[in-house]
Structure 1
């Protein structure tokens, strides 16, 4: 399970573009906590720490406990606004997690036993269709990765979601088809089925919409 990271934050009494610019000049990143039927709370966080965490990777799959002047709140990131020129964080949206909350998150896939994979040892090419899988998880049990074992995969064979053991408490958000995760293609070609799956992944990515509970940032 992914570790929860503790963050110290200051409550912002003033909001708006001017107040947000002032926070950035002082070395902070303005942010907001919203959701769970409660009023949004405007906060500021240390810029250097947030820059490091954001670009470390997996920021949107990480559970945070934000301490705002003695009040601790479990949150997960819903959006990071970056400066279009400098590519630096200028605002963060955090979603408040209530008791028993579940989330739809994209979890990275890690492939095991590539060196021992019989299909690859026979000269086949690894065709990764999905580098991550969208799953529904409990907020207190967010996995850091999904393991896919290649130990028995031969040339021309594929591994589908039904063949993968997902982390405890996780289930795929896609339930209407047994989609492909990875295959081993013969040298010089890939299976049509896998090409179809790759097109579906691209279509899903293009159709992604903002969270319905998301609030528009005022900063």
Structure 2
């Protein structure tokens, strides 16, 4: 289970309705509601700056949070909606859903690239290129993996690639995209080596006129005399 679920701090909102929501915004707070989990909905306020920072970081709606509200037990939540001002595009309200341990959700799980020092392809002078550092998966809220492990020691030669299908997924974890075996990483030749190779190929294709054989030159002269 994941060990670093980020905390999301909020405070209980005493009033409800448009008046209380407007008052919260004037105080630099964003009103919201926490629902689900066979428990009554809980109206909350979240500091505007904290919420905006998390929204700018990306994937707010696919991140599992540990919601901390004074006077209430911590609960795992995921965002189901963020309402924004139609002109300023700033958050004005959010909906958070409580999760049971058995709830299936879509989350982005990071990738841990291991054994880089033992990778034969890198030892041969190859350069590791990471195409993806995280993958969206369907996971159970109570059994979220910390990371997906990629063993780089399996890359034997320059040009070798690791695809998603090469990763051993933990039990109960499934990919969101079933029919696409995308690239996770590969080992390519150094850019300097590629440049030298390209230049050699161009040079081989170009034959200067001064290097033509005497026979070829004489043949051309003979054609002119006829």
Q: Does 1:165 align with 2:168?
A: yes
Q: 1:210 aligns to what?
A: none
Q: 1:30–1:42: 8 Å Cα contact kept in structure 2? A: yes
Q: 1:63–1:74: 8 Å Cα contact kept in structure 2? A: yes
Mean alpha-carbon deviation: is it higher for 134-143 or for 86-95?
86-95
Matches of 1:149 and 1:81, distance apart in 2: 42
Q: 1:213 aligns to what?
A: none
In structure 1, list runs of 5 or more residues that go unmatched.
190-219
Q: Deviation of residue 78 (structure 1)?
A: 3.9
Q: Deviation of residue 164 (structure 1)?
A: 0.9
Matches of 1:85 and 1:110, distance apart in 2: 41
Q: Which has the larger radius of gyration?
A: 2
Q: 1:28 aligns to what?
A: 29
Q: Deviation of residue 132 (structure 1)?
A: 1.5
Q: Which residues in structure 2 correspond to 1:46-195 (within 5 Å)?
A: 46=47, 60-67=62-69, 70=72, 73-79=75-81, 91-98=93-100, 100-153=102-155, 154-188=157-191
Q: 1:8–1:66: 8 Å Cα contact kept in structure 2? A: yes
Q: 3-state DSSP class of the match of 1:120?
A: helix
TM-score scaled to structure 2, two decimals?
0.62
TM-score scaled to structure 1, two decimals?
0.64
Q: 3-state DSSP class of the match of 1:119?
A: helix
Matches of 2:137 and 2:26, distance apart in 1: 38
Q: 1:11–1:69: 8 Å Cα contact kept in structure 2? A: no
In structure 2, list runs of 5 or more residues that go unmatched.
195-226
Equivalent pairs, count: 188
